[in-house]
Amino acid sequence: MGRCNKASRYAHGWLTIVLLMVFSGPLYAGEAEDFYVANVEALVQAKCIACHRVGGVGSPNLIFSSSATANHQAFDSYVNTPTNGANASQVLSKITGKLGHGGGVQIIEGSAEYQTFSNYMDLLSVAVSATYTVVPSAGRGGSISPSDPVFVNANDTTSFTVTADEGYELRIVGGTCGGSMMETTYNTAPVVRDCTVSVKFKRSGEEGGTQRAEAVPTLSSLTLLVMSGLILVLGVLNLRGRTF
C-alpha cells in the first residue's frame, strides 16, 4: 500500500508539472503587466529611473519614463530579445550591483524587493507575444489564397498567393497591412496590428480596369477653331474688296 501511495504521489507530481508547463504561458502573459504596475513600478521610479531615462547615464537599451505601461513594455522588449527570457538573469545581476552595474547595488539579493523582481522576470520570460489577424479578400476576376483570416505573431510577416481567372489580370493589391508583390505572391510587411489585404482584378487589356474615355475638345480648342474661321472669312472679304 505504501508503494502504491508513493507511486501515486509521484505520478500526481509529474502531472502537475506538465499542466503548469502547458497552461502557465497564457496565464502569466496576462498577469505580467498587472504584476509590474502593482509591485515593480514603484521600485523602478525609486531606484532605476535616475539613470535609465532619456539623457541619463544608464544603458540606452533600457529607458524608463513616467508611464508604467511604457516601462513594462521596455522591460518586455529588453528581457525577451532575442528570445523569451534571454536577459532576465542579467537584469537580476545588474540590480544587485554585478556585471559592472554603473549604479551599484540598488536591491539586495535575497530581499523581498529582489524576490519581486525575480517573480516579474519569470512572468515576462513565459509571456506569449501578441497575435494579430490578417483578413484577405479578393474582388471579381480572381482569388487569394489562403482566403480565410490568418493569425500572425507581432512583427512577423505572412504571404498570400494571388491568382487571376482566365481573361483577367491583377489590377492592384491594397489593404492596411502594407507589403510587396513578387510574381504571384504577396508578402506583407511586419504585422503590428490587425490588418487587411485586398486584391482587385481587371479584364485583360483594360487600362486600370476602366474604359478609356474619348477625347473631348476643350474650350480653348473650340475658341482657336472659331478664331481661325473668322480670320479666314475676313481675309476672303478683304481680298474681294481689293478685286472690285
For the segment 87-97, what is each residue's pLDDT rounded down to a tens digit?
999 999 999 99
Contact status, residue 48 vs residue 64, Cβ threshold 8 Å: yes
Using alpha carbons, select from 131, 184, 180, 124 the residue that is nearest to residue 154: 131
Average pLDDT over residues 130-155: 93
**Residue 155 pLDDT class (50, 70, 90 cuts):** confident
Q: Give the residue-averaged pLDDT of 14-25.
A: 41
pLDDT value at residue 231: 67
pLDDT at 26 over 50: no
Averaged pLDDT for residues 44-68: 92
Whether residue 10 is predicted with pLDDT greater than 50 in this model: the reply is no
Residue 176 neighbours by CB under 8 Å, 6+ apart: 195, 196
Cβ atoms 186, 180 nearer than 8 A: yes
Per-residue pLDDT band at 227 (split at 50, 70, 90): low
Q: How far is CA 137 from CA 142, 178, 199, in A?
A: 10, 14, 6
Proportion of the chain above pLDDT 90, given as a percent = 54
Instruction: Give the Cα-Cα-Cα angle 36, 47, 53 (nearest 5 degrees).
Output: 85
Tell me how far apart the alpha carbons of residues 177 and 195 are, in angstroms, rounded to a whole number. Answer: 5
- Angle among Cα 97, 75, 53 to the nearest 5 degrees reads 70
Residue 126 DSSP one-character state: T
Q: What's the angle, vertex CA 107, arms to CA 87 and CA 93, rounded to 5?
A: 30
Mean pLDDT of the chain: 80
C-alpha to C-alpha distance for 65 and 72, rounded to whole angstroms: 10
Torsion sign, CA atoms 92, 95, 98, 102: positive
Whether the upstream peptide bond of residue 190 has omega within 30° of 0, thus cis, is no
The yes-or-no verdict on residue 189 having pLDDT over 80 is: yes
Q: Domains in the chain, start-ordered, CATH in brackets?
A: 2-125 (no CATH), 131-203 (3.10.20)
Burial string for 9-48 (b: 16+ CB within 10 Å, else e) reads eeeeeeeeeeeeeeeeeeebbebbbebbeeebbebbeebb
Query: What is the reported pLDDT for 129?
Result: 63
**Cβ atoms of residues 60 and 70 within 8 Å:** no
**Per-residue model confidence (pLDDT) at position 205:** 80
Q: pTM of the entire structure? A: 0.45
